[in-house]
Amino acid sequence: MKTKAEAFARITPPDFLLRDFLGTENAVGISDNGMPDSVLVAYSGGADSSLALHLMNDWAKECGAKIYAAHINHGIRGDEALRDREHCRAECEKLGVRLFILDADVPSIAAETGKSIEEAARDVRYGFFEKIMRENNIPVLFTAHNADDNLETIIFRLARGSAARGLCGIPVVRRLGDSGFAVRPMLAMTKNEILDFCDEYGIEYVYDSTNSDTVYVRNNIRARVLPVMREINPDVATSVLRLASLLSEDCTYLDRIAQEFAGREDATAVSELKKLEKPILYRVLAILFGQYSSAMLEYVHLEALSDFLDKGKEHSSLSLPGRTKAIIEGGRLVFAKEVRKKPEKKDFSSPINLSLGENFFFDEYLLLIEEQSSTKPSQSTPQIQDSEGNVYKLFTHITISSDKINEGLFARGRIASDKIRQGGMSKDVRKLFSERAVPLDRRASYPIVLDGEGILWIPDIAVRDGVKDKKMTDNENGSKALRFSLYVRA
């Protein structure tokens, strides 16, 4: 039988993590040896956070620290979410832990802010956590991320082409707000270990039904990718955690070198920047850019900046994210605000003819239409570069049988009367955009694919009843399976 001592042995105490992270820094509410005087536990009611709450409650009693818990109902799962909230309330009452609860309407917030549901939910969560910590002088947030979460994160970032720092996975400690810290002491524990400990201790927890919905990328990774990896190595989560730790040490070393260079008086001298190897140069460029703008540079921007420096043409400029431009002046790299003329209002409602091959439209989309072979199905390339060097990243794709397409193929933006036949119902496209939180300033130019009968496909939102080719092969009547891959300009 497993004991709580075994569970404690599998976590890293918060005071040790903070002592190692803080070094000689002073932090309010944390003693010199890294011991916090109070901790807030992010408590969803699932197995991970339930074990976390019980272990941290015992730890807090031994150390004399205060413990609090926070639960968020995102307003997404209806009665199931209300069940989870009441479960958390009852458990905290039994343990004598003060619980903070937030009932939020994340779908509405997403629609108002133009963010995705996932982004809006994260902002709501951490905004709530930081508010509680600030008002109650709590220095540390404890989240129950585990080794499986870390593995899923790394696989997802690997598939997206992340830089080395992204492949370091979930950080064990990171700063939160002005003076707080988010700590993940359970990163070394696997999901199976957590479930075993919950069973042994009789810890009750709830199950989120959306965790089995493979529409979500993480769930898809969990259901389809991880089982294959565990066939190769049953302990893959621990192995990848070790790999991430080693990679993190390498990145920290390179980051330190880059920080030292960025602090030099001649850090912006083009002649000095051109002497740097790319692993250091890209980090230095990100640091220098970050001193001017809060926007993020992606790899494609860093590559462009590197080429820009190689040319070294005086008075030349390069457009970057955040309405910022890089300029070479007096042999130095400087950043300045890019003044752009307000664009004229464009009309996206006029249909554009589509054909097999590459179709560029609206100055930002590329729709690649290909015939799909029954013997060798095509795969969508992650990104495409056009003849002018513009990079287009894959947004989504679908396969449609050619015999479902009637009287031509077109693309345009939304018009007021747009409706699509889906699930046996005629649905208003305007409402679909609102439900999927499409940003208001993107709705007019959001691409819609049509044929002579009306709307065929709204990428990543809806497809007309009866047109999706499930077999993804040539049909017996001679029609072709057509793969539509939509790319967005980076």
Which residue(s) pair with 411 in the sheet?
352, 449
Give the N- to C-terminal CA distance of the chain in Å, as an integer: 54
Whether the per-residue pLDDT at 419 is higher than 70: the answer is yes
Whether the per-residue pLDDT at 459 is higher than 90: the answer is yes
Question: What's residue 472's pLDDT?
Answer: 47
What average pLDDT does the segment 60-79 reach? 89
Question: What's residue 19's pLDDT?
Answer: 46
Whether the per-residue pLDDT at 223 is higher than 90: the answer is no
- What residue ranges in 178-316 does DSSP mark as E strands? 180-183
3-state secondary structure of 111: helix
pTM over 0.75: no
In terms of average pLDDT, the best of 31-45, 160-174, 406-420 is 406-420
Question: What's residue 16's pLDDT?
Answer: 45
In angstroms, the CA 128 to CA 109 distance is: 14
**What stretch of H or E contains 293?**
none
Whether the per-residue pLDDT at 21 is higher than 50: the answer is no
Whether the per-residue pLDDT at 20 is higher than 50: the answer is no
Residue position matching structure tokens 């649905």:
427
3-state secondary structure of 413: coil
In angstroms, the CA 394 to CA 412 distance is: 19
In angstroms, the CA 424 to CA 419 distance is: 12
Question: What's residue 94's pLDDT?
Answer: 94
What average pLDDT does the segment 420-436 reach? 89
Higher pLDDT, 114 or 268: 268
Whether the per-residue pLDDT at 25 is higher than 50: the answer is no
Question: What's residue 27's pLDDT?
Answer: 47
Question: What's residue 323's pLDDT?
Answer: 84
Higher pLDDT, 341 or 48: 48
Residue position matching structure tokens 């956590």:
129
List, for residues 377-389, the tens digit of each pLDDT value.
Answer: 567 788 888 887 7
Question: What's residue 161's pLDDT?
Answer: 80
3-state secondary structure of 181: strand
**What stretch of H or E contains 371?**
strand 365-372
Which of 232, 226, 155, 242 has the alpha carbon at shortest distance from 192?
A: 226
Question: What's residue 346's pLDDT?
Answer: 79
Whether the per-residue pLDDT at 406 is higher than 90: the answer is no
List, for residues 273-321, the tens digit of each pLDDT value.
Answer: 999 999 999 999 999 999 988 888 888 899 999 999 999 899 899 988 8
List, for residues 343-370, the tens digit of each pLDDT value.
Answer: 567 788 889 999 999 999 988 899 999 8
Question: What's residue 327's pLDDT?
Answer: 93
Distance of CA 335 to CAs 34, 266, 326, 462, Å?
A: 40, 15, 5, 42
Question: What's residue 26's pLDDT?
Answer: 43
Average pLDDT, the chain: 85
Higher pLDDT, 267 or 385: 267
**What stretch of H or E contains 115?**
none
What average pLDDT does the segment 429-445 reach? 87
What average pLDDT does the segment 128-144 reach? 93
Q: Are 199 and 157 in contact (CB under 8 A)?
A: no
Whether the per-residue pLDDT at 188 is higher than 70: the answer is yes
In angstroms, the CA 350 to CA 257 distance is: 53
**Packing angle of the helix pair 278-290, 299-311 (nearest 10 deg):** 100
Q: Are 87 and 47 in contact (CB under 8 A)?
A: no
In angstroms, the CA 158 to CA 368 distance is: 24
In angstroms, the CA 361 to CA 418 distance is: 20
Domains plus CATH for the chain?
4-242 (3.40.50.620), 263-337 (3.30.465), 352-489 (no CATH)
Higher pLDDT, 325 or 214: 325
User: Cα 106 from chain centroid?
Assistant: 17
Instruction: State the pLDDT confidence band at 200, using cuts at 50, 70 and 90.
Output: confident
In angstroms, the CA 318 to CA 13 distance is: 48
